[in-house]
Amino acid sequence: MKRLVKMVGESAVLTTGKAPALLCAIKKIQKMVENDRYCVDILVQISAINAAMKKVGMSILKNHTSHCVSNAIKNENGEESIEELMAVFDRFSKS
């Protein structure tokens, strides 16, 4: 399905604001592995990144539902958009 609107407001700020921090955290994990750090410490960092990614994902999902799906329903393209949304929910809930 084609993108109907750009990310707006809180979602765009949260997503772009978190990206550098997430990249930095991933590089930190790489250094931890290279420096043979304690496995549990590395796993704690991975868990923190997963939580942050989940938060960013939820923000994007909220934005998508509020804007893209809502607009599709208003423009009588709701069925396809809702099917896509349900597929995304299914994939996102498994991560």
Q: What is the mean pLDDT of residues 31-36?
A: 97
Which of 25-34, 37-46, 72-81 shows the lowest per-residue confidence on average (mean pLDDT)?
72-81
Number of Cβ atoms within 10 Å of the Cβ of 55? 13
Mean pLDDT score of the chain, rounded to an integer?
84
CB 15 within 8 A of CB 59: yes
CB 20 within 8 A of CB 83: no
10-93: CATH topology is Methane Monooxygenase Hydroxylase; Chain G, domain 1 (1.20.58)
Radius of gyration of the chain (CA): 17
Number of Cβ atoms within 10 Å of the Cβ of 64? 20
